Structure 1
């Protein structure tokens, strides 16, 4: 019989609705029962694409004996960390404090009835294994500790709350002299941590870190630092050629389990691919590297093909993720045997594909399968095979098409079809940016459909909701939802100007300032002022797998101020930067998104306003979009535009003209494209 999760919208929670565990979703009913019965809470946090979450569920939560013990000793609460990032933030931080180790998923936390954690871990096997305590033994021990050591738990809880209270950044309301020092320090740290052979930072496991790469590109544009450019470009090249990138279907997996980007953890997350799509476009504008355009195109096509619903139920929103597993095996959808490959390709195709993707070497996945990664440069491969490069690449593309078509008939990984506002915003921004750079109207239209869906479905009475599925939008939105969507709207305004989109951006910014800003210290809380009371209200500036909401907000508010002439947005951004400046100086490498916003404030944004009629206007827009101008906004306004804010209300002529503005000052209009490009 289904448990209490059966009424939820989260695919992750619904995966557990038939467990014999008496699961509750997080809410008043579960918390009240824990207090009434004086029972500890077993809090399990995960997400639908998480491999080890599935393993622990199969080993323990589906086991009637384990479930019986859990039900007897605890109030059991299951949380989707993608729907409740506020809870995940709090209890991941608590895990670090209690265990002195990094957290992860599944996160397993034992709480007192008043929500205070007293023991935390991640994955536990059902029986002792890997040097780990078995889950069955663990829960018995924890229940005994709760009964017998209340005083110790109380003292630990007091220390934990004190530690939570110390971690808030404090601006003190005093003016801080902002300087580029932490940017330079972060860049030095990136160079020191850079893997010169394989790209990326550090060793295995290796994550993409798009905000850090973006900062490297921006510093190259600002200072001409070739080493910073190499860090970004070499990393993107190695990722694009590696197994972290789906060589057949497009899109990046979450991370590589090795330092070579060869074997990924196979889950694909929307939040990675949005920023990487925009980053590939930026890198192309600097290098004109065809690889970046090809990978951006394949990634955008994957998103529109597999991650964007076209039906009336979702009508434009992007889905959240693809699972790592299919048929209960990680990576099974993506890997191949040599026999499968030879059966699909002609001898000539195999002769080219084998050395290109590494089929001519030993298997690279679990000793029996091959996962595609590019091992040979096409020019060198063509020379090796004694054929011209064009014919060689034709064979590779034919092989890719055949393998992709065959793979489409396999059992697919699970897809989490909830639509998250924040992750959608990251993809909207990436799709709009790449669409503008590569002049792909279908990508821009994809972004517009998604933002229209959010505005129609998840924007109610001047407030955002965080998640949507099966006709139900719910949960108060978080800082990231507002900040990312504000930044995405500004990106879309540049890709395809719309007064409606700009108006939506101002509404988002107003809600952000009203409901999230810390007016005393500066910066923004992760939850709104009217959010559910929890044991901690976080206000953080460091990047995680997703960019810092405070960093994105500070960046986007500065840009919105330039577009609207509203100084209060820039002032809120300044307060945010001053609040987090000490943290940026103390740990520059962890604050790349805030450092991008800091650089934006130190190098005032230039707004380039294009007005005129087609086709000249489109030609000017394309010429500017193809240049890397990270400190500039390019706003192209056609003759049909109405209700322009004063900053953008430039006169319309019968030919294209450009105004280059910094702050409130605009230069005389330029009527010659070559002259405009020369000034930039």
Structure 2
């Protein structure tokens, strides 16, 4: 019989609808039953693309014996961490407090009926294995503990709640004086963690860290710091050459299981690839590396081909969430190859190029019998060894890649989680818009605009934002990240294609942030709105995780919107946020890169360029400015736009020409009517042209 998940929209929850476990979604029905029957809650948190979530499901949740034990002693609640990051965030922190070990997914926690955790872990095998307790043995012991040791659990819960309260930053008695010291210390810390051989930060498993890499790039654009540029571009090159990048289809997997970027955990996440689009575009501006342009083109194509609805109306333009690591119940099966499979698809002369280039001449690198493709040898060396021109080798490589891609498309594809998350869409809107502007690709900009239109029409209801959409249903109060990432994406999209509706939407989002999320007394923004469901803790996050800190992005985006519109409410809220978290970001610099980006922008306000003129004439100016540093904002406003706010309502130039207004903070230049003169004041190709005030 189906359990209580049948009416959910989350693909992850629906994967468990036929389990013999009597699962409930998180909600009052389950919580009330736990209270009424004095049963502990078994909380299981995961997501649809999670490999070990699938393993635990097959071993335990689909097993009648395990399900019987769960149903007998617990109220069982299944949560999609992508739909409910508020719950996931709280209980990941709780697990660390209880065990002093980092969490992950699947997250398995046991709670009292009033939602207080008292025991937990991540993945548990059904039977004891590799030093891990068996889930079947664990369940009755946990149930007995709950009923026998209630007083101990209450004391532990009181201590845990106190620890939660102590995690919230407190407002100091004086306003801190901001300086660049934290920026310098963060760069030094990242330098200490940098892997000079393979790129990236730290050892295996090696994650992508787009927020840290973006910080490095911005320090280069701001100060021409060569070390910062090297850390960013060397890492991005190693990632692009490795097996963590899909060499045939574009897009990056979530992390590498080794230090070399060779073998990934094969799931692909929207929240990684959206920021990486922007990052590789900016790295191309700074370095001119053609590999970075290739990565942007292939990844943008992957986003539009596999992560955005095709052939539907414009109201179906949002981006999907994830691709699974598994297909046909095997991790990576869709992506890896045997030599014979490759040889059967290609001509001998094509195989002669592909084999050394992608490492097929070496030993199998995946499970000792398959090859995950990565760039093992340069095309220049292969061409020389084959006594052909580099251009001929490049043509054979392109032909071979097309054939392999077509052959791979015939395989069973990994599962796709087609729920549309507002926060991850915001990250991808920003990435697609930035990449589209840098490389003058209108189709990428249109893709981002379609996603915005979808969110505005489907997830924006009665002046409030919703967090998730699937199969015609939009629901769940949006979180801080949803508002912040979307506002940031809108500010990027408006530079690629200015639409009045997007500006209005941005202002509305900013106002909701101030009204529903800001802590007016202490400063900063809570992760959940003031009218959100009451949970055991209300976080106010400052440190970056797999996605940037919501407080960091909020402060950064509010600064940009505030400077653009001359709206001091936004600027003051950003300053209060930085003031509250300044001690934290000074202490944990390398973990607060998005907050540090907002600090950098507070110290040096962004350069804002407003172009006004005839649509056709504007195109030339806009095109000339597309290589501006990401520290500069450029808005091209056609003459036919009316009803603009005062800060954007510039006088129309004469004779269908174009005029430019350049401001930085409260300082503005006289209007500029000559494009070459304008270029002297802009940060182009990473060369800093300081704003001169005469």
Provide the TM-score with structure 2 as the length reference: 0.97
**Contact 2:35–2:113 (8 Å) recurs in 1:** yes
**Contact 1:173–1:521 (8 Å) recurs in 2:** no
CA shift, 1:380, in A, is 2.0
Using the alignment, how far apart are the partners of 1:285 and 1:209 within structure 2?
A: 20
Q: Which residue of 2 aligns with 1:571?
A: 572
Using the alignment, how far apart are the partners of 1:665 and 1:542 within structure 2?
A: 32
Using the alignment, how far apart are the partners of 2:479 and 2:68 within structure 1?
A: 36
SS in 1 for 2:625: helix
Using the alignment, how far apart are the partners of 1:572 and 1:392 within structure 2?
A: 56
Could you report, residue by residue, the CA deviation over 1:487-509 in whole angstroms, capped at 9, with x for unpaired residues? 01111111111111011100000
CA shift, 1:439, in A, is 0.4
Using the alignment, how far apart are the partners of 1:185 and 1:326 within structure 2?
A: 44
Question: Is residue 275 of structure 2 the alignment partner of residue 275 of structure 1?
Answer: yes
User: Which segments of 5 or more consecutive residues in structure 1 lack a partner in the other structure?
Assistant: none
User: Which segments of 5 or more consecutive residues in structure 2 lack a partner in the other structure?
Assistant: 683-694
**Contact 1:499–1:642 (8 Å) recurs in 2:** no
User: Superposition pairs for residues 592-611 of structure 1, below 5 Å?
Assistant: 592-611=593-612
Q: Which residue of 1 aligns with 2:678?
A: 676
**Contact 1:35–1:113 (8 Å) recurs in 2:** yes
Q: Which residue of 1 aligns with 2:226?
A: 226
Q: Which residue of 2 aligns with 1:500?
A: 501
User: Superposition pairs for residues 278-677 of structure 1, below 5 Å?
Assistant: 278-310=278-310, 311-312=312-313, 315-627=316-628, 629-653=629-653, 654-677=656-679
Using the alignment, how far apart are the partners of 2:556 and 2:46 within structure 1?
A: 30
**Contact 2:277–2:432 (8 Å) recurs in 1:** yes
Could you report, residue by residue, the CA deviation over 1:522-577 in whole angstroms, capped at 9, with x for unpaired residues? 10000000111100000010000000000000000000011211110000000000
CA shift, 1:454, in A, is 0.3
Q: Which residue of 1 aligns with 2:688?
A: none
Using the alignment, how far apart are the partners of 1:314 and 1:500 within structure 2?
A: 15
Using the alignment, how far apart are the partners of 1:350 and 1:412 within structure 2?
A: 24
Using the alignment, how far apart are the partners of 1:285 and 1:656 within structure 2?
A: 25
CA shift, 1:679, in A, is 2.2
**Contact 2:314–2:450 (8 Å) recurs in 1:** no
Using the alignment, how far apart are the partners of 2:275 and 2:208 within structure 1?
A: 10
**Contact 2:558–2:571 (8 Å) recurs in 1:** yes
Q: Which residue of 2 aligns with 1:99?
A: 99
Change (3 A) 1:615 1:554: same
SS in 1 for 2:13: helix
Using the alignment, how far apart are the partners of 1:640 and 1:431 within structure 2?
A: 26
**Greater Cα offset, 313-322 or 629-638:** 313-322
SS in 2 for 1:156: helix
Could you report, residue by residue, the CA deviation over 1:575-608 in whole angstroms, capped at 9, with x for unpaired residues? 0000110000111010000000100010111111
**Greater Cα offset, 74-83 or 173-182:** 173-182
Using the alignment, how far apart are the partners of 2:18 and 2:127 within structure 1?
A: 22
SS in 1 for 2:375: coil
SS in 2 for 1:625: coil
Using the alignment, how far apart are the partners of 1:548 and 1:326 within structure 2?
A: 32
**Contact 2:315–2:453 (8 Å) recurs in 1:** no
SS in 1 for 2:206: coil
Using the alignment, how far apart are the partners of 1:9 and 1:222 within structure 2?
A: 45
CA shift, 1:236, in A, is 0.5
SS in 2 for 1:179: coil
CA shift, 1:250, in A, is 0.6
**Contact 1:313–1:471 (8 Å) recurs in 2:** no
CA shift, 1:427, in A, is 0.4
CA shift, 1:42, in A, is 0.2
CA shift, 1:668, in A, is 1.2
Using the alignment, how far apart are the partners of 1:281 and 1:623 within structure 2?
A: 16
Using the alignment, how far apart are the partners of 1:588 and 1:48 within structure 2?
A: 33
CA shift, 1:224, in A, is 1.4
Using the alignment, how far apart are the partners of 1:65 and 1:134 within structure 2?
A: 13
Provide the TM-score with structure 1 as the length reference: 0.99
SS in 2 for 1:166: helix
Using the alignment, how far apart are the partners of 2:385 and 2:615 within structure 1?
A: 49
Q: Which residue of 1 aligns with 2:83?
A: 83
CA shift, 1:663, in A, is 2.8
> RMSD between aligned alpha carbons?
1.0
